[in-house]
């Protein structure tokens, strides 16, 4: 005889209450049809409102394919083939109102394998690491979140967001058991963006300074990026400088854009304020940048920079082309003294401007124009986002007047107009849902046609 214990719920006049009950399972083989005679028994409820009991039986935990009303009896015979079963009992009153289910009891009859069992615990061990421990019984294999693991063990696991660890234990007969544990990161352990970033220029010497944000956890390092265009990092890319609040360097003449990120073992914060500075003299910018087209060939023309002295005369011009406004991530082309430039544009769209340069410094950029291959799609409109926990939904509208859209390209960056975190090519859908880890994301979308990748939509910022 197998002895098991459960809690059977009583049905009261209106609401259910619980009392202790004991379930007995007694099995005997009926050889003629290979059935097993099973008797289930439980303690009677002690309240006068209970009118009867119903027994629920299934082959999976929490899922019961069969039930039987046994009246006011406290035991019932069951004829079952070999296997593993899960059983609960519910009491009901004269109005057929049911109380809550008893604790579930599992049992195996015949040649069934012992049911596997699994348990798992997880706790935050460090700001960005979880200690995970697990145990199994009656199992021949185990995995956690799909990765095979020993049947019993523990491990310290790096995490970057709230994480659920689910263990699955299986026996040789294919029966499984699962258990889960969740660890939540402490958001207060993350650093916040730096504040009051400044650049002081003395001759060729530049001192970049910033202050720690008093909110959030203390940084252990700061990371500097410097570009020759807004939000660029073509000159210095993610350079750690230690736990300092300023850095200095000798810099050649030119225009620069710098930003600083705070970091610790948990995370790297968003960029602080971008700061612009110039080394050397500012000279006049080129004027009246235009593009003339002949088929797919674009000829760019601009006016010479006006100089008020010989020191202000440009020695050359630099053509900048970017994938978004203000960017020069596609090309920076020295043009010498020429004021025209021809290029064959067969696909894509580019944001173009020109600067004047001499040995003493450079100019602000000329006005910016868009140079796009014939037939290139305009920007999708109305990009917006909604978030439910870790799940992000993006939606947008097709660009006006576009020819057949082949796909959409979603760009995700850690700074404005960047795509360093991902470029995802979708079909011709105008919405997508994805799970995102914690962080800050700058997102835009472009249409793709036979003429290439089109102009970017409005950019949205998502913080999770």
- 329 — alpha (psi -120 to 50), left (phi > 0) or beta? alpha
- Integer CA distances (angstroms), 126 to 131, 142, 185, 398, 420, in order: 9, 26, 9, 46, 28
CATH code linked to domain 281-372: 2.60.40.10
pLDDT value of position 447: 93
For the segment(s) 381-463, the CATH number from 3.20.20.80, 2.60.40.10, 3.10.20.30, 3.40.50.300 is 2.60.40.10
Cα 315 from chain centre: 48
How many Å from the N-terminal Cα to the C-terminal Cα in the chain?
56
pLDDT value of position 84: 84
pLDDT value of position 45: 86
Q: What are phi and psi of 33, to 5 degrees?
A: -120, 15
Task: Give the whole-angstrom CA distance, residue 54 versus residue 67.
Answer: 7
Task: Give the whole-angstrom CA distance, residue 66 versus residue 103.
Answer: 17
pLDDT value of position 34: 56
Task: Give the count of beta carbons closer than 10 Å to the beta carbon of residue 411.
Answer: 23
- Can you name the CATH fold of 191-279? Immunoglobulin-like (2.60.40)
Is the Cβ–Cβ distance between 194 and 216 less than 8 Å? no
**Which of 444, 447, 453, 449 lies closest to 348 in space, CA to CA?**
453
pLDDT value of position 18: 33
> Tens digit of pLDDT per residue, the chain (464 long)?
333 333 333 333 333 333 333 344 444 444 344 567 778 888 888 888 899 999 999 999 999 999 999 999 988 888 888 788 899 999 999 999 998 888 888 887 766 567 788 999 998 887 678 899 999 998 889 999 999 999 999 999 888 778 899 999 988 777 888 999 998 876 667 888 999 999 999 999 999 999 999 888 889 999 999 999 999 999 999 999 999 999 999 999 999 999 999 998 778 888 878 999 999 988 889 989 999 999 989 999 999 877 665 567 888 999 999 999 999 999 999 999 999 999 999 888 999 999 999 888 888 999 999 999 888 899 999 999 998 878 899 999 999 887 789 999 999 998 899 888 899 998 889 999 988 887 889 999 999 988 889 999 999 998 87
CATH code linked to domain 2-109: 2.60.40.10
Task: Give the whole-angstrom CA distance, residue 401 versus residue 419.
Answer: 26
DSSP-derived secondary structure letter, 112: P
pTM higher than 0.85: no
CATH superfamily entry for domain 117-185: SoxY domain (2.60.40.2470)
Task: Give the count of beta carbons closer than 10 Å to the beta carbon of residue 276.
Answer: 10
Task: Give the whole-angstrom CA distance, residue 417 versus residue 326.
Answer: 9
Q: What are phi and psi of 74, to 5 degrees?
A: -120, 25
- Integer CA distances (angstroms), 143 to 167, 168, 170, 252, in order: 6, 5, 9, 57
Domain definitions of the chain by residue range: 2-109, 117-185, 191-279, 281-372, 381-463
pLDDT value of position 311: 62
Q: What are phi and psi of 182, to 5 degrees?
A: -120, 140
pLDDT value of position 408: 93
Task: Give the whole-angstrom CA distance, residue 82 versus residue 36.
Answer: 7
- Integer CA distances (angstroms), 433 to 34, 301, 395, in order: 52, 44, 9
Q: Do domains 2-109 and 281-372 have the same CATH topology?
A: yes
Task: Give the whole-angstrom CA distance, residue 32 versus residue 445.
Answer: 70
Give the bridge partners for 134, in sequence order: 120, 153
Give the bridge partners for 239, in sequence order: 224
Q: What kind and span of H or E run contains 109?
A: strand 105-109
Cβ-proximal residues to 337 (8 Å cutoff; 6+ apart), any chain: 314, 315, 316, 317
pLDDT value of position 135: 94
Task: Give the whole-angstrom CA distance, residue 30 versus residue 79.
Answer: 9
């Amino acid at each position: 005889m197998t002895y098991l214990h459960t809690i059977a719920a009583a049905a009261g006049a209106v609401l259910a209450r619980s009392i202790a009950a004991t379930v007995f399972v007694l099995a005997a083989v009926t050889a003629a049809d290979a059935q097993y005679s099973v008797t289930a028994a439980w303690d009677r409820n002690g309240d006068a409102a209970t009118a009867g009991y119903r027994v629920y039986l299934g082959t999976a935990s929490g899922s019961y394919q069969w039930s039987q009303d046994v009246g006011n009896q406290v035991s019932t015979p069951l004829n079952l083939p070999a296997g593993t079963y899960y059983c609960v009992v519910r009491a009901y009153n004269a109005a057929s109102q049911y109380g809550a289910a008893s604790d579930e009891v599992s049992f195996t009859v015949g040649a069934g394998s012992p049911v596997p069992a699994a348990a798992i615990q997880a706790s935050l061990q460090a700001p960005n690491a979880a200690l995970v421990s697990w145990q199994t019984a009656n199992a021949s294999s185990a995995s956690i979140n799909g990765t095979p693991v020993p049947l019993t063990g523990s491990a310290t696991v790096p995490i970057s967001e709230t994480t659920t660890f689910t263990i699955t234990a299986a026996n040789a007969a294919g029966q499984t058991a699962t258990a889960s544990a969740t660890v939540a990161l402490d958001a207060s352990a993350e650093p916040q963006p730096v504040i009051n970033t400044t650049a002081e220029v003395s001759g060729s010497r530049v001192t970049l300074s910033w202050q720690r944000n008093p909110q959030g956890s203390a940084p252990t390092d700061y990371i500097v990026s410097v570009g020759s265009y807004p939000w660029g990092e073509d000159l210095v890319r993610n350079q750690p400088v230690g736990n300092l609040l300023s850095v200095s360097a000798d810099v050649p003449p030119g225009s620069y854009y710098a930003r600083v990120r705070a970091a610790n073992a948990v995370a790297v914060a968003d960029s602080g304020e971008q700061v612009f500075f110039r080394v050397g003299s500012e000279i006049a910018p080129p004027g009246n940048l235009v593009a003339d087209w002949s088929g797919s060939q674009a000829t760019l023309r601009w006016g010479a920079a006006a100089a008020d002295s010989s020191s202000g005369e440009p020695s050359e011009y630099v053509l900048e082309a970017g994938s978004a406004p203000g960017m020069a991530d596609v090309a920076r082309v020295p043009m010498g003294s020429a004021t025209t430039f021809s290029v064959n544009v067969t696909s894509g769209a580019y944001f173009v401007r020109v600067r004047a340069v001499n040995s003493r410094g450079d100019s602000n950029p000329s006005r910016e124009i868009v140079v796009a291959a014939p037939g290139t799609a305009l920007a999708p409109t109305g990009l917006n986002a909604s978030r439910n926990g870790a799940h992000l939904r993006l939606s947008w509208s097709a660009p006006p007047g576009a020819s057949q859209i082949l796909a959409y390209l979603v760009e995700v960056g850690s700074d404005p107009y960047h795509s360093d975190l991902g470029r995802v090519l979708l079909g011709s859908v105008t919405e997508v849902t994805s799970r995102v880890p914690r962080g800050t994301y700058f997102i835009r979308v472009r249409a793709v046609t036979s003429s290439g990748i089109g102009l970017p939509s409005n950019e949205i910022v998502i913080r999770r």
